[in-house]
Chains A and B, each alone.
Chain A
Amino acid sequence: GESVGLHLPTLSVQEGDNSIINCAYSNSASDYFIWYKQESGKGPQFIIDIRSNMDKRQGQRVTVLLNKTVKHLSLQIAATQPGDSAVYFCAENKGFGEETSGSRLTFGEGTQLTVNP
């Protein structure tokens, strides 16, 4: 079936470096994408989202890039800090803006980001 997946299960970076976490999705009908951060012992936490009519969106120290041609999503974290260590998930959804219930957020497998001091 169609799913959202990640290229790398683990990523290790030095504190202060920039991090890039990648995600590939296969459902071309998806029109909304979200990155979540899950710290140990906690639930996933919303980081940033992007709609399919955009190719880039910036937040505080984070940037999400969407390439619909190759169905690729990435999360860039600037000046990575130890507090950024967590598992990062991309997720896809369909039907953004439609007045329908029962949206289905499909998650990828997650990338464990480790920040070394």
Chain B
Amino acid sequence: DTAVSQTPKYLVTQMGNDKSIKCEQNLGHDTMYWYKQDSKKFLKIMFSYNNKELIINETVPNRFSPKSPDKAHLNLHINSLELGDSAVYFCASSQDLGQGSNYGYTFGSGTRLTVV
């Protein structure tokens, strides 16, 4: 079973459209994240949710709206898509209460968004 799964894997859409990317984790982690990876491979955090509560909200346009219906899901909705939104978006999860030896994140396989 995939630990962190996100859909779709590829998304091609026109400027101005609204689209959503879904993410689910079956690891029982409390915290989930969305990261954006640009064409130079730089990974930048966008949002973080802990038990459905927004914890981190970086300087991201308000066209991006995360939704967490439960702690196993964190979806990303993007309104009025722009060319600059083209990137790979990664969902991740972590158990960050100091328990266990792996304090790192488990990432999904990414969603490549192309806005044309």
Which one of A43, A45, A87 has the greatest number of beta carbons of chain B within 10 Å?
Answer: A43
Task: Check if A87 sits within 8 Å of B41, measured CB to CB.
Answer: yes
Instruction: Knowing that A49-B102, A100-B96, A106-B45 touch, tell me 11 more A-B residue pairs with CB under 8 angstroms.
Output: A32-B103, A41-B109, A43-B92, A43-B110, A87-B41, A89-B43, A91-B104, A102-B48, A102-B55, A103-B96, A105-B45
The answer to whether the Cβ of B66 comes within 8 Å of any Cβ in the partner chain is: no
Given contacts A99-B97, A99-B98, A104-B56, whether A46 and B104 have CB atoms under 8 Å apart is: yes
Task: Check if B42 sits within 8 Å of A96, measured CB to CB.
Answer: no
The answer to whether the Cβ of B90 comes within 8 Å of any Cβ in the partner chain is: yes
Give me the interface of A with B, judged by CB distance under 8 Å.
32, 34, 36, 38, 41-46, 49, 87, 89, 91, 93, 96-107, 109-110, 112
Task: Check if A104 sits within 8 Å of B42, measured CB to CB.
Answer: no
Least Cβ distance of A7 to chain B in Å?
16
Given contacts A34-B104, A46-B102, whether A101 and B90 have CB atoms under 8 Å apart is: no
Least Cβ distance of B65 to chain A in Å?
19
Least Cβ distance of B71 to chain A in Å?
11
Can you list 21 A-B contacts (CB < 8 A)? A36-B104, A41-B109, A42-B109, A43-B108, A44-B43, A44-B90, A44-B105, A46-B105, A46-B106, A49-B102, A49-B103, A99-B97, A99-B98, A101-B30, A101-B31, A101-B50, A101-B97, A102-B50, A105-B104, A109-B40, A109-B42
Q: Which of B67-116 contact A (CB under 8 A)?
A: 90, 92, 94, 96-98, 101-110
A-B contact count (CB 8 A): 76
Task: Check if B31 sits within 8 Å of A103, measured CB to CB.
Answer: yes
B interface, size bucket = 20 to 34
Least Cβ distance of B36 to chain A in Å?
11
Give me the interface of B with A, judged by CB distance under 8 Å.
4, 30-31, 33, 40-45, 48, 50-51, 55-56, 90, 92, 94, 96-98, 101-110
